[in-house]
Amino acid sequence: MKTGILQFKPIFGKVKENIKNIENLARGKEFDLLVLPELASSGYLFASIDELEELSEFPEDGLFCNALRKISEKKNAYIVSGFPEKADEGGKTRFYNSSILISPDGRYYIYRKIHLFYEEKLWFSPGNIPLEVHRISGRGYEDVGIGMMICFDWFFPETARALALRGAQIICHSSNLVMPYCQSAMSVRALENQVFTVTSNRTGREICGGKEMEFTGGSVILNPNGDYLFRASRDKDELAVIEIDPALALNKNLNSRNNIFKDRRSEFYEK
């Protein structure tokens, strides 16, 4: 299964330009599953709710999601990407830091970030949808469990764990990382759950009202042994695709006597 990351630098507020960049990077490339960064349509540092309102979209017909649908259909591939989601909930408009999984047949699934980082709490509502696993099939792969999590979700081992226990074989991890830990910590997330992880991170920096954030690139793909299959550069636009066998993530045996799921002693754990 050809699994890839698209690492790039979203230009803040320039949705059309970001779509163009994504289309250019995807041109001529073949993949079955492609993961883009968090908030790939909009950029990260919002200055006001009005700005977020303008840049967010409804997943069913938003500009960015529709552009990804076209790529998905054309490539006959699944695409995961972060974007600022607008939602009408009981007459009230809410915003979520979401990711979308788009199927080439037009279906789509939404995940809303449950662990908001820092000033995201000013703009976004915390995710209110269970961590779900979606089964996907395509050329040469069938019924593969896909989980989504977003950036800071990695810090909480419970996120990847819940996805793995619910059948995720590949965790698609759209990110805008600023802390220095995640790219090396993902090795533990992959290993402890015996899953593939695909962390697609953005590059570049954003400055807004005296605030500055530098994003660390270095997108990584890991196998269920916690081995790095791919590491991106710190600062370059890249679309990289590697071949993985997602069936490897179905095997939770570490040896002939230890199965990491059957060995769990949940009666002793905290929820």
Least spacing, CB of residue 105 vs a copy of itself, in Å: 28
Query: Total binding residues for a copy of itself by CB under 8 A?
Result: 43
> Quick check: 269 binds a copy of itself (CB under 8 A)?
yes
The DSSP result for 63-75, as a single string, is HHHHHHHHHHHHH
> Quick check: 214 binds a copy of itself (CB under 8 A)?
no
> Quick check: 155 binds a copy of itself (CB under 8 A)?
yes
* CA gap 72, 78 in Å, rounded: 6
* 67-70 contacts at long range (C-beta below 8 A, 24 or more positions apart): 67/19, 67/22, 67/23, 68/22, 68/100, 68/102, 69/102, 69/106, 69/108
Binding segment toward a copy of itself, per CB under 8 A, in 11-19, 37-45, 95-103, 155-163: 155-163
Binding segment toward a copy of itself, per CB under 8 A, in 41-49, 83-91, 138-146, 157-165: 157-165
> Quick check: 74 binds a copy of itself (CB under 8 A)?
no
Least spacing, CB of residue 139 vs a copy of itself, in Å: 32
Judged by DSSP in three states, 193 sits in helix
**List 61, 140, 210, 268, residue binding a copy of itself (CB under 8 A):** 268
Least spacing, CB of residue 5 vs a copy of itself, in Å: 21
**E runs forming strands in 118-246:** 133-138, 141-150, 170-175, 196-201, 205-208, 211-214, 220-222, 228-231, 238-243
* CA gap 232, 34 in Å, rounded: 14
Judged by DSSP in three states, 102 sits in strand
Spatial contact of 6 and 36, defined as CB atoms under 8 Å apart: yes
- Report the DSSP beta bridge partners of residue 95: 86
Binding segment toward a copy of itself, per CB under 8 A, in 10-18, 39-47, 96-104, 109-117: 109-117
108-112 vs 133-138, strand pairing mode: unpaired
**List 76, 126, 139, 142, residue binding a copy of itself (CB under 8 A):** 126
Least spacing, CB of residue 271 vs a copy of itself, in Å: 4
> Quick check: 192 binds a copy of itself (CB under 8 A)?
yes
* CA gap 50, 93 in Å, rounded: 12
> Quick check: 114 binds a copy of itself (CB under 8 A)?
yes
Known catalytic residues?
Answer: 38, 113, 151
**List 82, 127, 218, 246, residue binding a copy of itself (CB under 8 A):** 127
205-208 vs 196-201, strand pairing mode: unpaired
Which residues contact a copy of itself by CB under 8 A?
114-119, 121, 126-127, 130-131, 152, 155-159, 161-162, 165-166, 181, 184-185, 187-188, 191-192, 226, 254-258, 260, 263-266, 268-271
